[in-house]
Amino acid sequence: MTAPAMNSAAVATGVGRALETRLGGEQQSLATRGTIGATLAAVAALAAVLAASTLVLGDGRWLALPAPLPLLLAVTAVSGAGAMFLWRWRALQSTLRLPTLAGAVEREQQLREGSLRGALEVAGTGALGARAADDVARRLKPGTLAPGLASALTTALLVAAGAAVVGLALLVGAARAVPDGLAAVLQPVSAWRGTLLPALAFDKLTTRVPRGMPVTVRVVATGRQAVTVSRRSEGEAWSDTLLTVPD
């Protein structure tokens, strides 16, 4: 009795998958590594810009600087982080395209140029193509297919992780030194509208003062470094006095 004939499509689907499977696994592993690196690079960029913005706006400087500046700095921080991630992500996608990855594997495993890419192209064309792809897959070394590329992505990930740690440390230090600066950049609309800090208020202001007697006025100025007090006597011009708010 002769074995039933198998058409080429059936053979192609059952054979020739080893090469595609190995390359797919390598692609997924490298993609995970690269994506984590891109995310950490974005975090580093975000933290660095936020730390610089905090120092610029801190110590009440956001009150004197142009009102839109905190919003501009917040948009810059988010945009910079997004641009960093997108740049790294696009570079990663270009590197991990199957033909590009196959070329890298050929160079690192010292295969004939085009042999791996050619095997991928013919793997789905029939039984002979599928068996040729399997033969190429068997010649590949076990373990990581492109160790050089994997090492480069790992190095980039570690550098991005270090940059993220430094950026976050700078942000924490800046926030501790000038917390109002961080509040301004994290709540830029409130800073622009002047609602970030509690309103000025008088504490236990007396309602009656005998003529000619001195009066003490206590102003509650939470979060402010200085307050300008305007006053005038009847029939005289207004005069301004800049008072430093004690800690």
User: Cα separation of 131 and 123, whole Å?
Assistant: 8
Alpha-carbon distances of 95 from 63, 88, 111, 150, rounded to whole Å = 47, 11, 19, 11
User: Cα separation of 173 and 178, whole Å?
Assistant: 9
User: Cα separation of 235 and 215, whole Å?
Assistant: 19
Decide: 233 and 211 in contact? Cβ < 8 Å.
no
Decide: 14 and 126 in contact? Cβ < 8 Å.
no
User: Cα separation of 184 and 167, whole Å?
Assistant: 19
Q: φ and ψ at 202, to 5 degrees?
A: -95, 140
pLDDT at 1 over 70: no
Q: Is 201 helix (H, G, I), strand (E, B) or coil?
A: strand
pLDDT at 132 over 80: no
Average pLDDT, the chain: 79
pLDDT of res. 10: 37
pLDDT at 180 over 60: yes
User: Cα separation of 208 and 205, whole Å?
Assistant: 9
Count of Cβ atoms closer than 10 Å to residue 217 Cβ: 11
- Residues 181-212: pLDDT tens digits? 999 999 999 889 888 877 777 777 777 777 77
Would the pTM count as exceeding 0.75? no
- Residues in a beta bridge with 219: 202
pLDDT of res. 210: 77
- Residues 87-126: pLDDT tens digits? 999 999 888 887 777 777 777 777 676 666 556 655 556 5
The owner of tokens 């192609």 is 12
- What is the average pLDDT across 36-45? 96
pLDDT at 80 over 70: yes
